[in-house]
């Protein structure tokens, strides 16, 4: 099947989903979009989408593939199996790429539900952020059957810079992403702690940021997220509440394996405290706001 006859719908047009949808368009795929946000739908329509809607049910029978980039397992289940659920409306043999960060058990349950409708699933969490998504260069950690990989290859080619084929067992992709999120969450929390200490010590945060990003203590997360702290800009590219959810998955996975995670557990507590303090919808760098006795930069008025 040629790219320009392959029909894909991206469900969830947030920062990652919008980038993935635009990458599908750039690759010549017939691209549809579904999201509750009218501004996101209008933006994708203006970019050249075949059609957009609150629900993909209206064009489900046209699709060869669905890419789910929603927040959690509950949203995945609502989209696929809830009222107007896609699973019953998609043609048998359609590929469903589930790219939310969810538990292995939830991934396996979704795959089982899709199989009852003759649908193929790729357990395919993603990473890379909005910029990589916009460039079609996200990293995909995928598990599933060879048939599912083959069916979804046009989507993978369009959105990914690197695809890791973790294995055939559904849930393996989810587990790799959860372990990755352990690092991502701990790096943000550690970066926030370091910058909070700098603030307490009276070190200018732009200086501290510059030193770290040119030295051995740097990480991608520090460089990306602590820039938001220096700028005093907590516009939510990825919100605190996302890491409350993801680090809960990390700790629950460890508990199921009777395995201790002292750093991840502490990071989870930090993000949960930030959420409970009212910062849940701010950028995840706002975890720094829970440190008392420091002054942080504020966004300059334009």
Confidence of residue 237 (pLDDT cuts 50, 70, 90): confident
Tokens linked to 90: 């998609």
Q: Are 265 and 251 in contact (CB under 8 A)?
A: yes
Give CA–CA dist 256/148, Å, rounded.
28
- Domain identity same for 181 and 267: yes
Contact between 223 and 214 under an 8 Å Cβ cutoff? The reply is: no
Whole-angstrom distance, CA of residue 104 vs CA of residue 198: 39
In this prediction, residue 4 carries a pLDDT of: 65
Residues 155 and 10 in one domain: yes
Residues 35 and 131 in one domain: yes
Share of the chain above pLDDT 70, in %: 98
149 in the same domain as 51:
yes
Q: Does pLDDT of 1 surpass 70?
A: no
User: Which residues have a catalytic role annotated?
Assistant: 177
pLDDT one-digit tens code per residue, 11-61 = 999 989 999 999 999 999 999 999 999 999 999 999 999 999 999 999 999
How many of the other CB atoms lie within 10 Å of CB of 221? Answer: 20
**Residue 130 shares a structural domain with residue 179:** no
Are both 24 and 111 inside the same structural domain? Answer: yes
- Is residue 244 within 8 Å of 280, Cβ to Cβ? yes
Instruction: Note whether 110 and 100 are within 8 A (CB).
Output: no
239, β-bridge pairs: 283
Residue 298 is assigned to a structural domain of this protein: no
Boundary-marking domain end, from 168, 190, 211 = 168
How sure is the predictor about 215, in pLDDT bands with cuts at 50, 70 and 90? very high
| Alpha carbon of residue 171 to chain centroid | 16
Question: 300 lies in a domain?
Answer: no
Q: Using alpha carbons only, give the angle 14, 18, 20 rounded to the nearest 5 degrees.
A: 120
Task: Report the DSSP pairing between strands 126-127 and 138-143.
Answer: antiparallel
Computed from CA positions of residues 46, 16, 243, 173, in that sequence, does the dihedral angle turn out positive or negative? positive
């Amino acid at each position: 099947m040629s790219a320009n006859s392959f029909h894909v719908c991206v469900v969830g047009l947030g920062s990652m989903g919008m980038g993935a949808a635009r990458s599908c368009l750039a690759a010549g795929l017939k691209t549809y979009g579904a999201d509750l946000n009218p501004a996101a739908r209008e933006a994708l329509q203006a970019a050249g989408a075949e059609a957009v809607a609150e629900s993909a049910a209206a064009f489900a029978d046209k699709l060869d593939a669905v890419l789910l980039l929603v927040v959690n397992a509950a949203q995945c289940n609502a989209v696929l199996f809830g009222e107007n659920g896609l699973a019953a409306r998609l043609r048998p043999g359609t590929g469903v790429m589930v790219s939310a960060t969810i538990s292995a058990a939830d991934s396996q349950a979704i795959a089982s539900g899709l199989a009852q409708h003759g649908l193929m699933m790729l357990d395919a969490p993603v990473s890379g952020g909005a910029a990589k998504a916009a460039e079609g260069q996200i990293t995909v950690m995928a598990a599933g059957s060879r048939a599912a990989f083959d069916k979804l290859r046009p989507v993978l080619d369009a959105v990914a810079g690197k695809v890791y084929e973790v294995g055939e067992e559904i849930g393996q992709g989810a587990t790799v992403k959860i372990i990755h999120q352990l690092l991502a969450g701990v790096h943000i929390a550690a970066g926030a702690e370091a910058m909070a200490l700098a603030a307490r010590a009276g070190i200018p945060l732009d200086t501290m940021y510059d030193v770290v990003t040119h030295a051995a203590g740097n990480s991608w997360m520090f460089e990306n997220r602590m820039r938001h702290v220096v700028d005093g800009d907590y516009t939510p590219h990825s919100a605190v509440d996302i890491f409350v959810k993801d680090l809960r998955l990390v700790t629950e996975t460890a508990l199921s394996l009777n395995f201790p995670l002292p750093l991840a557990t502490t990071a989870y507590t930090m993000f949960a405290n930030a959420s409970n303090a009212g910062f849940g919808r701010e950028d995840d760098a706002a975890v720094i706001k829970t440190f008392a006795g420091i002054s942080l930069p504020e966004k300059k008025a334009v």
